[in-house]
Amino acid sequence: MSKNKNQKIKQVNNVNTTTIEPQISWIQKIQEWWKRFSSQVINRLLLKFIGLMTLFYLVWANQYVQETLVKEIANMYAKVSGEILNLMGAGVAVTGDIIASSYFSIGIKNGCDGIEGLAIYWCALAIYPATLKYKITGFLWGTLFLVVLNIIRIISLYEIGVHVPSIFDVMHESIWQILFILLTLVGLFVWVDWLHRNKSAHSLLKS
Amino acid sequence: MNVNMKWILLKSIGVFFSIYLVLLLMFQTETVKKPSVQFYMSSIEKVYGNFGSGGEVKVKTLKAEDSKHFDAIVILTSKFQKNKAIQKARKQGMNTTKIKPVKYRISTWNSFYLLLTFLIALFLATPTTWKHKCKGLLLGSLLLYTFFLFKTGWSLLLKFSAYHGRFDVGFDNRTILESINYLYNIIINSYFGLMIVVLLWFFLMFPVVKINTKNIQYLTPKTPLKKINNKISDPPTV
């Protein structure tokens, strides 16, 4: 009798242990994943970066911004590139965002103005943990680098259009676009590397 | 930047451009281009062949002599449009009728394959193990393909909505149409696509970068940056 009773208790215990097992709901699973995901610094930085880029694109796509700021930047690029091309003896005339000569004409439209490349660089600079001094230095050098790079792109594309028009489309759509975004990333890595070298040198000098 | 780091960066850029240029040249050949364009068109037709409430989407190839920049044409019609045309023809006692579809040309390279090529080159040039490269490439390509489908779906929604009177598909409301157009102007931009690839690369590949240089630690911080900074012990440059 007592043996039977013990067996029953055992069985009941077994039943209890199987029913008490914690069941993780999908909400908890998501919460855990999010906890693990956001515990990594790199992920937190990237989420901030996405937030800033979303903000940039929302402002950038605004018609008023396009018609004023973006258009003015394109005109400025055309003017500067035109001046340099004329110094090189190209004999071009600049009207608004169009650089034209009797051989070839080129227009600085969306994507050719380098604004998005600059935005990627600036947003990355803004979210990366560094003092204002380092950020301002990175901002100035990086902006100068990307602006000069874009002027080189416009001038080279004009020259390609004049001398090798058959490869203009490939150079415009497939090479320079990629090169520009890649060099933006390289510029960022150089800044991060410089930042940490200076930081470590500074902390060693202090100690 | 130390010599080791410079070498790694230059090597990665070299590998990137080698892969990118090879893929770019490959895409110019008919052997690769033809099935790629076919895959692009069948993807759109499979996913969006029946769009919304009665919209119909077909994609056809464009001959090279027809257009220099584009290689496919999207044709939009709808059941509503067809029924309306048939009813009108019946009323007029005609046996045949014509419908006016909306057509727009696309470049498969610019809208998808450029991004895919960029993604492949970027992922393969990342200094990490082949296992991580393949894993990242597979997941990255899938996510990029999802983005491409979303982008295409959004363009179709805008086109159907813009011709709502003709198709009776999409949205008729002006404010909604303007909002769709606002987002369309962002996502259709080629730089936006490239930025998506860069973000995928950051998320999928950055945590698995493997370089035998102490100084690279700060590029993939897993612990708070302050702690890592204390670990860096380069000699001062002064």
In a domain, A22, yes or no: no
Number of domains in chain A: 1
Report whether pLDDT(B213) > 90: no
In a domain, A40, yes or no: no
Report whether pLDDT(B165) > 60: yes
Question: Cα-atom radius of gyration of chain A, to the nearest Å?
Answer: 29
In a domain, A12, yes or no: no
In a domain, A34, yes or no: no
> What pLDDT sits at residue B209?
76
In a domain, A80, yes or no: yes
Q: Give the lowest-confidence range in B4-8, B94-98, B133-137.
A: B4-8
The pLDDT of B50-64, averaged and rounded, is 90
Instruction: Compare A170 and B234 and report the one with higher pLDDT.
Output: A170
Task: Kindly determine whether residue B189 and residue A189, on different chains, have CB atoms separated by under 8 Å.
Answer: no
**Nearest Cα to Cα of residue B236 among A69, A58, A206:** A206
Report whether pLDDT(B236) > 80: no
What is the domain partition of chain B in residue ranges? Answer: 7-210
> What pLDDT sits at residue A1?
46
Q: Give the lowest-confidence range in A67-81, B164-178, B209-223.
A: B209-223
The DSSP call for residue B98 is -
> What pLDDT sits at residue A42?
82
In the block, which residue shows the tokens 């973000």? B199
In a domain, A186, yes or no: yes
Paired sense of beta strands B72-78 and B50-51, if any: unpaired
The Cα A57–Cα A72 span in angstroms is 18
List, in sequence order, every residue forming a beta bridge with B61; answer none if it has no partner.
B72
> What pLDDT sits at residue A98?
94
Task: Kindly determine whether residue B194 and residue A178, on different chains, have CB atoms separated by under 8 Å.
Answer: yes
> What pLDDT sits at residue B183?
95
Domain enclosing residue A186, as ranges: 45-202
The Cα B105–Cα B75 span in angstroms is 9
- Residues with Cβ within 8 Å of residue A52, at least 6 apart in sequence: A123, A126, A127
Task: Kindly determine whether residue B225 and residue A41, on different chains, have CB atoms separated by under 8 Å.
Answer: yes
Report whether pLDDT(A13) > 70: no
Report whether pLDDT(A137) > 50: yes
Tokens of A4: 């039977």
Note the pLDDT tens digit of each residue in B11-45.
Answer: 999 999 999 999 999 998 999 999 999 999 999 99
Task: Kindly determine whether residue B222 and residue A40, on different chains, have CB atoms separated by under 8 Å.
Answer: yes
Ramachandran area for residue B88 (φ above 0: left; ψ -120 to 50: alpha; else beta): alpha
How deeply is B20 buried, as exposed, middle or buried, from its count of CB atoms within 10 A (0-12, 13-18, 19+)?
buried
Paired sense of beta strands A105-107 and B102-106, if any: unpaired
- pLDDT mean across residues, chain A: 86
Q: What interface predicted TM-score (ipTM) does this complex get?
A: 0.81
Residues above pLDDT 70, as percent of chain B: 86
Per-residue three-class SS string for B115-172? HHHHHHHHHHCCCCCHHHHHHHHHHHHHHHHHHHHHHHHHHHHHHHHHCHHHHCCCCC
The Cα A128–Cα A52 span in angstroms is 12
**Nearest Cα to Cα of residue B174 among B166, B207, B182, B192:** B182
Name chain B contacts of A57, Cβ cutoff 8 Å.
186, 192
Q: Which residues of A touch B (CB under 8 A)?
A: 40-43, 46, 49-50, 53, 57-58, 60-61, 110-111, 116-117, 120, 129, 169-170, 173-174, 177-178, 181-182, 185-186, 189-190, 192-194, 196-197, 199-201, 203-205
**Closest residue of B to A172, CA-based?**
B110
In a domain, A77, yes or no: yes
The Cα B70–Cα A199 span in angstroms is 51
The per-type count for chain B, helices as H runs and strands as E runs, is 10, 4
Q: Give the lowest-confidence range in A45-54, A109-118, B137-146, B183-192.
A: A109-118
Name chain A contacts of B238, Cβ cutoff 8 Å.
201, 205
The pLDDT of B111-122, averaged and rounded, is 96
List, in sequence order, every residue forming a beta bridge with B76; answer none if it has no partner.
B57, B102
Can you state the percent helix, strand and coil of chain A, rounding each to 5?
80, 5, 15
- Residues with Cβ within 8 Å of residue B150, at least 6 apart in sequence: B187
Partner-chain residue, chosen from A58, A120, A193, that has the shortest CB–CB distance to B1: A193
The pLDDT of A68-74, averaged and rounded, is 93
